[in-house]
């Protein structure tokens, strides 16, 4: 199962340069890296990145992230994937631009 992380372009560039990341500012504040499932990612983009256009959608294989990935209740009681360790660039399955269109973000075909 793929799960998704939305990163701002400078966050993505820093991740690529360093080879790992502890996440975005919200992740650092909360103590874990936030992810969304395919069913959750459009709402995540609308809620937290509504006016941001230079974003990157990064896909990860949930099963390969190991025991440090936990499914915990969040928005509306839904279970969201949270990672309690740094994320490694080698764990990225793929990355794609997530542009902002007239009626919201334009997701890559097959994600939602």
H-helix segments, 1-112: 9-18, 25-30, 41-48
The pLDDT of residue 74 is 86
Task: Provide the 10 A C-beta neighbour count for residue 79.
Answer: 12
Per-residue pLDDT of the chain (112 residues; tens, 9 = 90+): 999 999 999 999 999 999 999 999 999 999 999 999 999 999 999 999 999 999 999 999 999 999 999 999 987 888 999 999 999 999 999 999 999 999 899 999 888 7
Reference 80, options 46, 38, 109; nearest CA is 38
User: CA–CA separation, 71 vs 74, rounded Å?
Assistant: 9
Strand partners, 42: none
Evaluate if pTM is beyond 0.75.
yes
The pLDDT of residue 112 is 76
The pLDDT of residue 6 is 98
Contact (CB, 8 A) for 61 and 2: yes
Which residue ranges form the domains of the chain, and what is each CATH number?
2-99 (3.20.170.20)
């Amino acid at each position: 199962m793929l799960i998704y992380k939305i990163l701002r372009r400078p966050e993505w560039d820093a991740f690529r340069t360093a080879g790992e990341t502890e996440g975005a500012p919200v992740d650092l504040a909360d103590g874990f890296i936030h992810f969304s499932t395919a069913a959750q990612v459009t709402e995540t983009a609308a809620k937290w990145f509504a006016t941001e256009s230079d974003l990157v959608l990064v896909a990860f294989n949930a099963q390969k992230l190991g025991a440090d990935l936990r499914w915990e209740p969040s928005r509306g009681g839904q279970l969201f994937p949270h990672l309690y360790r740094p994320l490694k660039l080698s764990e990225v399955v793929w990355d794609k631009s997530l542009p902002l269109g007239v009626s919201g973000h334009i997701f890559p075909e097959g994600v939602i």
